[in-house]
């Protein structure tokens, strides 16, 4: 599977490495025409306001909405989760607004700006290693959204059909199982296209 990583800002190289380790082909995507032939795309962590602004500037809002409408999967990690959400607390507008959920940015407060933990993820056998850095939380989910993981009772991972989102950075450890999970989503989507 050819998996793109949106390369406008943020943790791009680490995702490409993890995709390769998980057996996929990782490709940095800087222009919308590079989406042709891509089976799934990751929107990485970074700074969601900056990523959103650059996405508007380079035509990625419309292009990625069309990509998702074709049934191709999108995985938003950390800032990428914020980019996927329909609603962002305290902000007028979202970015892609594809997932029926509300998110809060920088939701862990100063004491817990960054930490690593082991998370139980639905559908994955052993706990997954997760690195949280100025992470967002999903404060509510609407119809069609399945919660895949919680941390101390708060939602940190969810899926809505071909859309996957997590609060943490799955690309910063040598645990590649979330990339394997996403590659499987891309394979399943390709099989019905
Ligand atoms: N705090 C960032 C934001 O709100 C997200 C942090 C991250 O991606 N590690 O955009």
pLDDT per position as a tens digit, 11-30: 999 999 999 999 999 999 99
Counting ligand 1 atoms within 8 A of each CB, the residue from 134, 138, 170, 172 with the most, and so the one to mutate, is 134
Tokens of 35: 């989406």
Residue 130: name the closest of 154, 101, 146, 110 by CA.
154
Rounded to the nearest 10 degrees, the angle between the axes of helix 12-21 and helix 177-191 is: 70
| pTM to 2 decimal places | 0.97
Q: Which atom of ligand 1 is nearest to the CA of 132?
A: 9
Supply the CATH number for residue 173's domain: 3.40.50.880
Calculate the alpha carbon distances from 183 to 19, 82, 189 in Å: 8, 21, 10
Share of the chain above pLDDT 90, in %: 96
Count of domains forming the chain:
1
Q: Which domain holds residue 181?
A: 2-191
Measure 29 CA to ligand 1 centroid, in angstroms. Answer: 20
pLDDT for position 109: 83
Of the candidates 15, 95, 166, 169, the residue annotated as catalytic is 169
Q: How far is the C-alpha of 164 from the C-alpha of 73, rounded, in Å?
A: 8
The ipTM value here is 0.95
Task: Return all residues near 13 (Cβ < 8 A) that are at least 6 apart.
Answer: none
Give the three-class secondary structure for 118.
strand
């Amino acid at each position: 599977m050819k998996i793109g990583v949106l390369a406008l800002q943020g943790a791009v190289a680490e995702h490409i490495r993890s995709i390769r380790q998980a057996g996929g082909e990782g490709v940095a995507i800087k222009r919308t025409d590079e989406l042709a032939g891509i089976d799934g795309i990751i929107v990485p962590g970074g700074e969601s306001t900056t990523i959103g602004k650059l996405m508007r500037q380079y035509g990625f809002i419309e292009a990625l909405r069309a990509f998702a409408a074709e049934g191709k999967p999108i995985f938003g990690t950390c800032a990428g989760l914020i980019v996927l959400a329909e609603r962002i607390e305290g902000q007028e507008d979202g970015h892609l607004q594809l997932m029926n959920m509300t998110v809060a940015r920088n939701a862990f407060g100063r004491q817990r700006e960054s930490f690593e933990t082991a998370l139980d993820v639905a559908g994955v056998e052993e706990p997954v290693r997760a690195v949280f850095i100025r992470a967002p939380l999903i404060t509510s989910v609407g119809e069609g959204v399945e919660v895949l993981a919680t941390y101390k009772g708060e939602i940190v991972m969810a899926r809505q059909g071909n859309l996957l989102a997590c609060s943490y950075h799955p690309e910063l450890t040598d645990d590649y199982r979330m990339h394997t999970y996403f590659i499987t989503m891309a394979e399943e989507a390709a099989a019905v296209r």
